[in-house]
Every structure is written in structure tokens, then in C-alpha cells.
Amino acid sequence: MKTLTIDCPDHLHEQLARLVEAGWFKAPEEGVLEALRRYLSGHSVELQEQQIMADVEWGLHGRD
């Protein structure tokens, strides 16, 4: 486990605080981790390469 220290812009911190207050997370740190997990799952190298290979097929052999 690593410890990261970050500067969080006020508007993001306020949104995070609202989510904590509403009970979505126990603490802001938990919200940051969840956001990071979701970001990484949507931006994985494997996903990008899979999409590009589909694009290569379209680029080479598509009809439009």
C-alpha cells in the first residue's frame, strides 16, 4: 500500500464532501480511490488496443 498526497481543487473537494455527507463514502479518500478505480477501468491499455484493432480492420477493409 502506497500513500499519495494530492492537491485537490476546491470544486472537486466540495463535490466529494457532498458525496461523503450523503453517505456514498466513509471518507473523501475512499471517494478518490473509487474514482481512480473507475477511471483506470475505462482507460486500460487493453481496451484501447482492442478498439484500435477493430479500427484497423475498418480502416483497411470497411465499406464506409
Partner 1 sequence: MAATEIVAVLDAGPLIHLDQLGRLNLLEDFKELLVPKAVLDEALRHRPGIKLTALSNVEIITESPPLPADLLKLADELALHAGERAALAVIKARGGQFLLSDDAAARSVALAVGFQTHGTIGLILRSNRRGQISKSEMLELLRELPVKTTLHLQKKFLAGIIAKAETEAS
DSSP state of 23: T
**Residue 55, interface with partner 1 (CB under 8 A)?**
yes
What is the Cα–Cα distance from 22 to 37, expressed in whole angstroms? Answer: 20
Task: Give kind and range of the element (H or E) at residue 35.
Answer: helix 28-42
**Residue 46: count of CB within 10 angstroms of its CB:** 7
Single out the segment in contact with partner 1 by CB under 8 A; choices: 8-16, 20-28, 55-63: 55-63
Applying CB under 8 A, among 7, 10, 21, 64 the residue interacting with partner 1 is 64
Applying CB under 8 A, does 11 fall inside the site for partner 1? no
The span of 2-10, 13-21, 23-31, 35-43 binding partner 1 (CB under 8 A) equals 35-43
